[in-house]
Amino acid sequence: MKHRGIALLMIAVVLLFATAATAQTYTPLYSYPQTDVGDSGITWPSVLSQGQDGELYSTIQTNGAYTFGSVYKITTTGQYMLIYNFCAEGSPCATSGAYPTGGVTLGFDGNLWGTTEDGGKDAAGTVFKVTPAGTLTLVYPFTNAKDDSAPNFTVLQGQDGNIYGVSEEQYNGQYGSFFKLTTKGKISPYPFGYTNGSSPSLPIQGTDLNFYGTTQAGGDTSCGEFGCGVVYKATSAGKITVLHEFTGYVSSTNFDGSRPIGTLVQGSDGDFYGTTYTGGVNNLGTVFKISASGTYTLLHSFAGVPTDGSYPIAGVTVGTDGNFYGTTANGGTVNYGALYEITPAGKETILYSFCAVACTNGFSPTTPMALHTDGNFYGNTAGNSLGGSVFYSFNVGFKPFVKLVTWSAKDGATAEILGQGFTGATGVSFDGVAAKFDNVSDTYMTATVPAGALTGRVTVRTFTGTLTSDRNFLVTPQLKSFSPASGVVGSSVTITGVSLTQTTGVTIGDKAASFTVNSDTQVTATVPVGAKTGKTITITTAGGTATSKDKFDVAPLIKTFSPSSGPVGTSVTITGNSFTGTTKVTFGGVAATSYKAINDTQVDALVPTGAVTGPIAVTTAGGTGTSTSKFTVTQ
């Protein structure tokens, strides 16, 4: 049995009370009972996910009919319902798996997707999906022979439709892996190698469609033999790049943090925000931010009791106000955990402290708070005085909003939207562009990305008001064609496509080009100096980047040559553009046997034997450029 209850969270029984201002309201809604194995099973950062029905779904590791764990749903008023029990009695858990630790994630199909860290045909864990009604499908059983094992977080669905996740162990080592899984069950594992991290935490998908996450160990070993962990970037093809190596465990000079466990989030500024369990100035954990290129900033070092939190297990959640909200397993008034707010600039405020006597309201929050579209946070504690855990709500005054399940797609695609009050919907728009919609239920709707849609907030209008999305919808540009197929520096290229209104950049031949947006379907650009031949054209908009299928040829352009006349053997300097890779120079049609491209703007050549008066021509892979004036061959 691989029960990963975190021993350091098994804290003495305590009472909970609030120290925050009246603007924040903590409400215990449900007490999970103690399980047969000694605790509630909520001892890891299990994700709470909002379903299409507006209810919250997650997993408990060791409860259920057979104590192998369960999937459950719980309403925002605290009504609990177990919807699936893992492992029938006497079963080797071959059909479902055992011990789900990471919660579940809503998929595009309306099912809840998750993992187990044990069970399956090789007792190596599984990926599953389960309907809200409790019908489970085994998507993939890990084999411990050719892929990964022990996935200890849930999974996420990328905007490409594939499932992405991480595992703690890997068949040829103990460092873990990042994996991609099709919805049909074909897996592609990409192992970590310790120097780029070990024991990865679940990543998120950034607006550039890459994945960003942390590992709890590996990387720089200056803080200990196991390393302090890293922040990594992974492409959908599995290329893993280290953005930052943590070193701040016990050093008096390195305070950046150690052992990041929770998932990162992306702020409205495009940077990623997260926490480390230890490290920092007081070795009690940190909050940090990091850019997509790896610029790291320490925002806050936790100080512990009696004024601050300590040891954050989970990461932070983005609020609709642009600030971040999180939990610490310890610290607060009497060291039993706290809820806090931190701004992008690093100003931290403790909003709620858990404290000692009876603690029926819970202690040691270890899971990330989920921001529901009703405007409230919901979360779980790891314990309470009854031996179980507590499901709670936390109101900081946010208004209801809508959440985008799909947030990056092309014109004509279907966007999925969660919220409330959709039976009274009267309109949906993408940054002001009206869209057709289908209010499937009061809490779930779909909308068709309209022609001319703009990247920006999605709004849903109802009879009683307007609901705005918590993030931008990215309208993916499409580049369909360009004309002409070749040209010289300074010439114009007409590019046609879809969703081009918000174009922010064009490259031709790997060089930035000046451009004019003519319409949502057309952009004209000028071939830039230094453009390389045989390269694609790309257009970048607020919604992403589109690349042409065909390549653009940059033909050489002759501007001047000197001298303008001379006998055979004269050295002639030819100036212009796009001369790199010159393969031929002719004088009056006669090829020179001696020439050299000095750089992209200059070619030197000797007038060849047999040359006649006429234009000079330079040939490259991009074509042939001919001078407008003639070179005179003298005797």
What are the pLDDT digits (tens) for 343-374? 999 999 999 998 755 577 888 898 899 999 99
User: Closest Cα partner for 59 from 134, 9, 122?
Assistant: 134
Phi, psi of 385 (to 5 degrees): -70, -10
The predicted pLDDT at position 6 comes to: 33
Regarding predicted confidence, which is higher, 452 or 224? 452
pLDDT at 172 (0 to 100): 52
Q: Which of 390, 405, 351 is nearest to 111 (CA)?
A: 405
Which residue type is seen at 211?
F
For range 16-28, the mean pLDDT? 59
pLDDT band at 469 (very low <50, low <70, confident <90, very high): very high
Q: CATH 2.120.10.30 in the chain, residues?
A: 46-191
**Residues 537-558, mean pLDDT to the nearest whole number:** 97
Sheet holding 136-141, edge to edge: 104-106, 112-116, 126-130, 136-141
Residues of the chain with CATH 2.60.40.10: 403-472, 478-554, 557-633
| Among the listed residues 482, 468, 508, 263, the one whose alpha carbon sits nearest the alpha carbon of residue 373 | 468
d(CA 344, CA 360): 34
pLDDT band per the 50, 70, 90 thresholds, residue 147: low
Helix (H, G, I), strand (E, B) or coil at 76: coil
**Over 60: is that where the pLDDT of 445 sits?**
yes
CA distance linking residue 515 with residue 98, whole number of Å: 57
- Residue indicated by tokens 């070619």: 603
Nearest C-alpha neighbor of 7 from the set 303, 305, 329, 314: 329
Query: How far is residue 100's CA from residue 9's CA, in Å, rounded to a whole number?
Result: 19
CA 159 to the chain's CA centroid: 10
CA dist 301 and 253 (Å) reads 13
- Model pLDDT, residue 146: 60
Question: 563, 603, 601: which is closest to 586 by C-alpha?
Answer: 603
The answer to whether residue 385 scores a pLDDT higher than 70 is: no
Give the pLDDT confidence score for residue 567 in this predicted structure: 96
pLDDT at 89: 60
> What distance in Å separates the CA atoms of residue 438 and residue 324, rounded to the nearest whole number?
32
Across 533-562, average pLDDT: 97
Average pLDDT, the chain: 90
Whole-prediction pTM value? Answer: 0.90
What is the side-by-side order of every strand in the sheet holding 187-191? 156-157, 163-167, 177-181, 187-191
pLDDT at 41: 63
Q: What is the pLDDT of residue 43?
A: 64
pLDDT of residue 143: 81
Q: Which of 104-108, 177-181, 493-497 has the lowest mean pLDDT?
A: 177-181
Architecture of domain 557-633 in this structure: Sandwich (2.60)
State the Cα angle at 109 between 61 and 456, rounded to 5°: 105
**Torsion angle (degrees, nearest 10) of CA 171, 177, 183, 187:** -40
Q: What is the CATH number of domain 403-472?
A: 2.60.40.10
pLDDT of residue 319 exceeding 90, the answer is yes
DSSP 8-state class, residue 8: G
* CA atoms of 252 and 217, how far apart (whole Å): 20
Q: What percentage of the chain's residues is helix, strand, coil (to nearest 5)?
A: 0, 50, 50
Q: Looking at domain 46-191, what is its CATH homologous superfamily? A: TolB, C-terminal domain (2.120.10.30)
pLDDT single digits (tens) 483-506: 999 999 999 999 999 999 999 999
pLDDT at 35: 66
Q: Give residue 18's pLDDT.
A: 34
pLDDT at 12: 29
Q: What is the mean pLDDT of residues 99-120?
A: 93
Q: How far apart are CA 611 and CA 615, in angstroms?
A: 11
Per DSSP (E only), the strands in 346-424 are: 348-354, 363-365, 370-371, 377-383, 389-395, 403-404, 408-409, 414-418
Give the residue among 197, 238, 232, 233 at the shortest CA–CA distance from 217: 197
Q: What is the pLDDT of residue 163?
A: 97
What's the full length of the chain, in residues?
635
What's the whole-number mean pLDDT along residues 271-293? 94
Please state, in angstroms and rounded to a whole number, the distance separating the CA atoms of residues 214 and 392: 27
Tell whether the model's pLDDT for residue 10 goes beyond 50: no
What pLDDT score does 219 carry?
Answer: 85
Residue 38 pLDDT exceeds 70: no
Check residue 178 and give its pLDDT.
92
| CATH tag for 478-554 (out of 2.60.40.10, 1.20.1740.10, 3.40.50.970, 3.10.20.30) | 2.60.40.10
